[in-house]
Homo-oligomer: A and B are copies of this chain.
Amino acid sequence: MKQAIEQQFQALQDQICLALQTIDGKGKFVQDIWQREGGGGGRSRVMCNGEVIEKGGVNFSAVFGEPPEKMLVALQLEQADFFATGVSIVLHPQSPMVPIIHMNVRYFEMSNGVWWFGGGIDLTPHYVVPEQAAWFHWQLKKVCDQHDSSYYQTFKQWADDYFYIKHRQETRGVGGIFFDHLNTQKTGKTQPQLFDFVLSVGRAFVPIYAHLVELNRHIPFGEREKKWQQLRRGRYVEFNLVWDKGTKFGLDTDGRTESILMSMPPQAHWEYNFTPPAESPEAATLTWLKRGIDWINLLPLRSAVEQT
């Protein structure tokens, strides 16, 4: 089974990279194959200075061997081999009008028989367009509903809680879905059923992002919007380096730094105590960066979304 998962994840990386190159129209992914000393390795693929994507990483890895000490402690195990495979994506667009997107699917297995899936998709618009955020959540709900009617609500709330920048009291973006440690015990599903769900999430990524890019890529912008984009990228950096468990764990356990930090934006900006003017689009965006927004039932957005 783990071979099948690894192969499918690898194929997913291929499909996504090809599709993103088509969407971008100019940028090409450059591949970096790396090996892990303790076992396994990966294929990091990075696009720089595309037409749409300023810096984007699509990373595949499949690693195995003795787990780092911290992992054994966390799992309360004395000794066991592990296997982990996944695809991880962060895209930083050129235009501040196009949202940043993140997608991840992963599978983890221990030699003692413990296994689980994790993953999710979440969106970080520099400028929140509520109709688009609602549409995005609607797409995720459709994917989830095909597998279990409880998934969307559970995983949406999980994303709200996970992608939260505590020291700013802001969410990273408009959320999405996040899930981890999904196994039979926790979900009542078989391993193939859960794999099927995770693949659906991975395959939903391209059409969702393609639509959001198409809606926003031709919107004009100027210096003001670029500055705001860089300030929001600063928040993205803060979340990833201070709060993101995956990033911290990777850096703490001698993961491959350049692959882990592919998620960093090309440029970020910090300005002491920056506050956008009242009633500006920037201030409006901040009002949407809250946990617990019920995007699916946000009237009158719902009727607009249902027509799409």
Binding site for B on A (CB under 8 A): 32, 44, 46, 48, 55, 57, 166-168, 230, 234, 237-238, 241-242, 248, 251-252, 254-255, 257-258, 260-262, 264-273
B48 touches A257 (CB 8 A): no
Give A47's nearest chain B residue, CB to CB.
B272
Known: A269-B266, A272-B48. A251 touches B57 (CB 8 A): no
Interface core residue of A258, A266, A270 (most chain B CB under 10 Å) = A270
A260 contact set on B, CB distance < 8 A:
167
A272 closest partner in B (C-beta): B46
Contact A262 B272 (CB under 8 A): yes
Check if B258 sits within 8 Å of A248, measured CB to CB.
Answer: no
A168 to chain B minimum Cβ distance, whole angstroms, is 6
Known A167-B260, A258-B273; 7 more pairs at CB < 8 Å: A48-B271, A48-B272, A237-B237, A238-B241, A242-B242, A262-B272, A267-B267
Q: Please name all residues of chain B whose beta carbon is closer than 8 Å to the beta carbon of A46 when the two chains form the complex.
A: 272-273
Let me know if A261 and B251 touch, CB within 8 A.
no
Q: Are B258 and A272 in contact (CB under 8 A)?
A: yes
Given contacts A166-B251, A242-B241, A251-B167, A265 and B270 within 8 Å (CB-CB): yes
Q: Say how far A193's CB is from chain B's closest CB, in angstroms.
A: 36
The distance from the CB of A269 to the nearest CB of chain B, in whole angstroms, is 5
